[in-house]
Chains A and B, each alone.
Chain A
Amino acid sequence: MAEKTSTWNRVALIAAMSKRAPKGSLNRTAIMKCAYLLQTIRNVPLGYHFTLYSYGPYDSDVLGDLDYAELLEAVTVKRVDHTGGYGYDIRAGAASDRIQQKATIFLQKYAEEIAWVLQEFGARSSAELELASTLVYADRETPVASQTISELVRKVRDVKPHFAEERILVEAKALQEKKLLKSVR
């Protein structure tokens, strides 16, 4: 059977990632994509059901857990305006430590994975995270060592035509160098 992850674990993960964010805070895209990358690449059993949208892998349950983390004061969520839109600044809340204590075993067991995702992806922009996570998603849809990196890039370009092919290729190569892609031969 799959290892089950309780609500406490998922909320505590959001609290822990927010507290240890490289830039002192995360945004909603970072929470979403880091959860995806943790579950998909490092097999952290979060129990989310990510599917692909044009803005990358997504599961509304992640935002539901973030909302609950805010209610429990594990995090603070502040809306911030920027050119052409808005975002959210997510930081550790007053009850961050208390909530993390509810999931001590889980957080200790996956401490290395959490540190990894924050180091590799915690400081990246939303657009970069959308692109990287979409590449990983398209990679995992395809059998191991069954396509070239150009084929993977074209797939992602078809989903996200607003990205230049060269930019997708640069990101794909970076992921490949870190051995995070499985389908590329």
Chain B
Amino acid sequence: MPDPHRTYEIRCPVHGFIRLNDWEKEIVSQPAFQRLRRVRQLAWTDYVYPGAMHTRFEHSLGVMHTATLLYDAIVRRSMPVLTSELAYNDEGLKRHRQLVRLAALLHDVGHGPFSHAAEELMPLKEDNTPYRHEHYSAALVRTHLRDVIENHALNANYDFKADDVAAILEGSSSARQALFWRELIDSQLDADRMDYLLRDSLHAGVQYGRFDLDRLIGTIVAIPGADGKGPRLGISEGGWHAAEALVLARYFMFTQVYFHKTRVAFDLHLQGALGNLLPNGRFPKPTANELADYVTWEDWKVLGLLSDGKGGDDGQRLSSRNHYREIFHTPESPNADDLDQLESVRSALGNLLVRDAEAEKSWYKTGKTDIPVISETRTKSVEPLSKFSSVVGNMKPIRQHLLYVRPEDCDAARTIRDNALGGASNG
């Protein structure tokens, strides 16, 4: 009879050995999770950075590992906040440690082929906003993974339902007290970000994206709520340089890797090709009757179809690496005049303009970050990271726009662009 208390180790290029219990190993063995071996983390980034061939599989293991380190550190350091503001006791914290591990492990299980690049093809919900991969993750947890979550022998110690895991992934009130830990899955101090920055940096082979994870783990805390507000995650003062490095790592990875003009072009081509390959141009919905069809869509299936010559013009361009060319870009943080200039060029290019990419709509966008920092003195005063770090305090939002034309139209487009700019050159 298998031993439910046996533990396993998987070697990770970022974290070394990642330990799993028998329950987690069984989850990892499920086809719905193994599918992540066939979903690349950074889509077609390898066309620019050839090493970036890693998958959501190894990232998911890394997020579970990192979330656990962060969880244990917060519990060790912030018991007064957890007990007084969230009513935790030791037993509750032990239970939710396992729940956080499961949520972290499964947070990306719903990704479509080539990860975020495919997300533009998600269908619309009843409220006319598009589904996101988190909705598919929660749906897979409730269906394909329900049995292994609820019926493994180790769950006799926890009595978790699949809905408990899904509630954290979705951000639902049914997560109850455990909702606090959602910040470890999706926030400015989450394990997801910490893992993907280190992992993407390693595989892309760039020197950006690195920060002192050990120091962040050594200084992360639960910050008490002030003025009747709830508690949230922050950093004790000694760790603010590590938090600053995390913010900068994200900035550099965005500007140098995620929003690289050629990498973005391949995202656009993938979206075009998928729009051509998918029935009705959209993925199946995360509903009972469509989810099984959705999970058949992973990288291998798309690559097979492209190999068969399908996917239209965008598919051909992916297969031959004959991508659209960036003809114009705004500054990283365009002001109103820059945006007026963008409109002039866009208008002048007319039909030559084939794609328009915006940093704010990128799935890797940097967003606003201002991590709370709590002093280590008796006052326990709380200040934003931007007060400690002049670099973070002076960072501007990245709202760059990139305009693309077909390679064969480049010469004509450059002339039109330069005329629209009054003779100035751009890109």
Contacts and interface: CB of A to CB of B under 8 A. Distances in A.
Interface string B129-153: 1001010000000000000000000
Interface string A41-64: 000010101011111100011011
B171 A160 contact: no
Question: Which of B228, B230, B232, B386: most chain A Cβ within 10 A?
Answer: B230
A47 B333 CA distance: 21
Contacts of B188: 60
A4 to B, nearest CB: 10
B368 A66 contact: yes
B335 A125 contact: no
A68 B397 contact: yes
Contact of B225 (A52, A83, A137, A162): A162
A126 to B, nearest CB: 6
Nearest to B387: A79
B367 interface: yes
Interface in A98-124: 98-99, 102
B200 to A, nearest CB: 19
A66 B368 CA distance: 9
B129 A47 contact: yes
A7 B360 contact: yes
**How many of chain B's residues touch chain A, expressed as a range?**
35 or more
Interface residues on A, range: 35 or more
Nearest to A51: B171
B420 interface: no
Given A7-B360, A141-B173, A60 B367 contact: yes
B368 A64 contact: yes
Contact of B230 (A66, A82, A137, A160): A160
Given A64-B368, A64-B397, A68-B397, A55 B230 contact: yes
B245 interface: no
Interface string B224-242: 1111111110000000000
A98 B381 CA distance: 39
A165 interface: no
Contacts of B360: 7, 61, 64, 68
Contacts of B179: 52-54, 159
B382 A86 contact: yes
B367 A64 contact: yes
Interface string B387-402: 1000000001101000
A162 B227 CA distance: 11
A89 interface: no
B227 A71 contact: no
Contacts of B397: 64, 67-68, 71
Given A98-B336, A161-B86, A84 B382 contact: yes
**Most chain A CB inside 10 Å of its own CB: which residue of B84, B170, B188, B228:** B228
A98 B335 CA distance: 12
A61 to B, nearest CB: 7
A184 interface: no
A125 B179 CA distance: 22
Interface string B179-197: 1101100111000000000
Interface in B196-228: 224-228
Contact of B173 (A2, A63, A138): A138
B281 interface: no
A47 B127 CA distance: 11
B219 to A, nearest CB: 18
Interface of A: 1-3, 7, 29, 45, 47, 49, 51-56, 60-61, 63-64, 66-68, 71-72, 79, 81-86, 95, 98-99, 102, 125-128, 130, 134, 137-138, 141, 155-156, 158-163
17 contacts: A52-B173, A54-B86, A54-B179, A54-B182, A55-B230, A60-B368, A64-B360, A66-B368, A71-B397, A79-B387, A85-B226, A85-B381, A86-B382, A86-B387, A98-B336, A127-B229, A158-B173
Interface of B: 84-87, 124, 128-129, 132, 134, 170-177, 179-180, 182-183, 186-188, 224-232, 333, 335-336, 358, 360, 365, 367-368, 372, 381-384, 386-387, 396-397, 399
7 A-B pairs with least C-beta separation: A127-B228, A51-B171, A2-B128, A85-B226, A84-B226, A158-B176, A63-B368
